[in-house]
Amino acid sequence: MSTVPIIPLASIMPGVAQPDSNWEYLETVIRPYTIELYTQYRNTCLMAVNNNIIKFHKDPATLDMLLQRLLTVIANVNNALGVVHAKHSGRTGYALGSNDITNFLSISEEYVRIQSDLMGVYNEVYLPLQAMTEQAHAAATAAGAANKGNV
């Protein structure tokens, strides 16, 4: 009977580290990445409704629809992050024993699900909202420059 060698994930996909089964990995790698995605989405919503550029959006109805959809996802993610974090907050060291490892993997999967919820609206909601906001910002900047020239 031959054995199949175990190939480290990093050798197959350079730059991707195989997760350690320690609680610090959840706290220092997985959670911050998820929060970074969440923050990026939230900041795009805040910029879209900035008082200085909101009147420069060309399609307010689409803006409203995109904002509502993204804000719903953001609210759901915010709630889910709190619930998931409570499941591992304060835990340190390696997950030892089958129950601990199962718990660790389950929590990891919850973070992946949250990330998936964010990425699920990336192409159809987040990117269009970001593009609209960048266009409105450019129009506001151009209008400001034009007004400065007329003073």
Domain layout of the chain by residue ranges:
21-143
CA distances (Å), origin 70, targets 52, 87, 131, 132: 21, 26, 14, 14
pLDDT tier, 8 (very low <50, low <70, confident <90, very high otherwise) = low
Q: What pLDDT does residue 65 have?
A: 98
Q: What is the DSSP string of 11-49?
A: HHSTT-PPPPSBHHHIIIIIHHHHHHHHHHHHHHHHHHT
Question: Which segment of 19-23, 27-31, 86-90, 131-135 scores lowest on mean pLDDT?
Answer: 19-23
Q: What pLDDT does residue 15 have?
A: 52
- Write down the pTM of the prediction: 0.78
The partner residues of 22 in beta bridges, in order of sequence, read 94
Give per-residue pLDDT as tens, 91-115.
998 888 889 999 999 999 999 999 9
Q: What pLDDT does residue 149 have?
A: 67
- Cβ pair 105, 88 in contact under 8 A: no
Give me the mean pLDDT over the 69-94 stretch: 96
Give the span between the Cα atoms of 31 and 120, in whole angstroms: 18
Question: Which segment of 46-50, 77-81, 92-96, 112-116 scores lowest on mean pLDDT?
Answer: 92-96
